[in-house]
Amino acid sequence: MKKITIIGAGIGGLTTAIALKQQGFEVEIFETTVKFKKAGSGINLAINAMQIYKRLGIYEAILKAGNYTNTIKIRTKKLGLLTSTNLKKIEKKHNVKTVAIHRATLHKILVKHLENTEIKLNMRLKSLAQENGKVILNFEDGTSHIAEIVIGADGIHSNVRNSIFADTILRDAKQVCWRGISTVSIDANHREELNEIWGKGKRFGFVQITKHEVYWYALINKKDFKSKDVNLITIFSDYHQTVKDIITNTPKENILCNEIWDLKPIVNWHKGNVCLVGDAAHATTPNMGQGAVQAIESAMALSISLKEAKNAIDAFNRYQKIRKEKANYIVKTSWSIGKMAQSNNLIVCVLRDFIVKLIPKSVTEKQSKKMFELNF
């Protein structure tokens, strides 16, 4: 077990590559993208991800390039407070900070830490087959490649997964999400906060990612969706001026618009010498901000399992045992939060806001502990 082939150079694939290299493996990566773009989106790296990056020696670089956040606030449309989760206690316990960062910046840092590993771009995997202990990779350009062990880090629509399992199901959350990076200057009080504002059938979230940039996202229900080019200021006209200022100060051409889907939890994450990591194995809705974070956890657990096990199958079983329960918990909980947060029913929304305000600190702390602590 020396050379490992990774399909996909997203956050999951790159983190897996770095972790495997540190465990002494040789790595090769195939990626469909022709050139990495500076996508208009940010990401909040929660404490569980930052603990992994500390182990991998990338923590300081990420902390320096992003913005420290220490409180998650759920708010009403005029920025009234529904609930606030302070992360300082748990940060102190694990001696790491939460960081919000531009995705492209994180990507650059990860690529830099791979140094001599070549990422073979413009290589789209079509399918794979396993024969006599080898994996045959077939690419869209007609070429093929023989590998020993393959990690599928090719995202929610994974062709690796589709090649080893015929019956996986993607679920439509029936929500549409816009994401952007604004150059607005927000009130200093919000600088270390991750804010999500709940309304009736719509949500808006924002967090500072650098001194001069704010990452934001906006969600509506699919049934209310008309076009990705719709004027978001109109949709959020009843929200606080801060929201409108954030949207106004965002270059339109960099705004992303995606439908929200997840992967119905699957029984196995591996077959033979092929294993899945990140969204390919456990894609979740973004309501807990844990999709990439779970990919990072899986990357580390998989690399440790490969190092410690006698063979690939033993390693993959160990990895799945360590990770599956938590990843599935996130998928399930995130799905439920999305339904509640995005409700279109006024009475449900009033009740929801009332109940959320009453949730005791001990309950949110217990949930945070489950999410942020590592079990390996």
Ligand X SMILES: Cc1cc2nc3c(=O)[nH]c(=O)nc-3n(C[C@H](O)[C@H](O)[C@H](O)COP(=O)(O)OP(=O)(O)OC[C@H]3O[C@@H](n4cnc5c(N)ncnc54)[C@H](O)[C@@H]3O)c2cc1C
Contacts with ligand X by CB under 6 A lie at 7-13, 30-33, 43-44, 124-125, 153-155, 159, 177, 179, 217, 258, 278-279, 286, 289-293, 295
User: In the sheet where 81-86 sits, what is the strand order?
Assistant: 81-86, 71-75, 193-198, 202-210, 213-221, 170-182, 256-263
Q: Which is nearer to ligand X, 216 or 239 (CB)?
A: 216
What minimum distance in Å lies between the beta carbon of 369 and ligand X? Answer: 18
What minimum distance in Å lies between the beta carbon of 64 and ligand X? Answer: 19
Instruction: Give the type of residue at 183.
Output: T
Q: Which is nearer to ligand X, 11 or 300 (CB)?
A: 11
What minimum distance in Å lies between the beta carbon of 346 and ligand X? Answer: 26
Instruction: Give the type of residue at 319.
Output: Y
Q: Which is nearer to ligand X, 111 or 309 (CB)?
A: 111
Q: Which is nearer to ligand X, 151 or 315 (CB)?
A: 151
Q: Which is nearer to ligand X, 166 or 358 (CB)?
A: 166
- Count of Cβ atoms closer than 10 Å to residue 208 Cβ: 26
Structure tokens at 61: 């670089």
What minimum distance in Å lies between the beta carbon of 107 and ligand X? Answer: 9
What's the CA gap between 128 and 93, in Å, rounded?
Answer: 44
In terms of Cα–Cα distance, which of 290, 339, 293 is closest to 173?
Answer: 339
Structure tokens at 89: 């206690």
* DSSP SS3 for 262: strand
N-terminal to C-terminal alpha carbon distance within the chain: 22
Place of tokens 């945070």: 368
What minimum distance in Å lies between the beta carbon of 124 and ligand X? Answer: 4
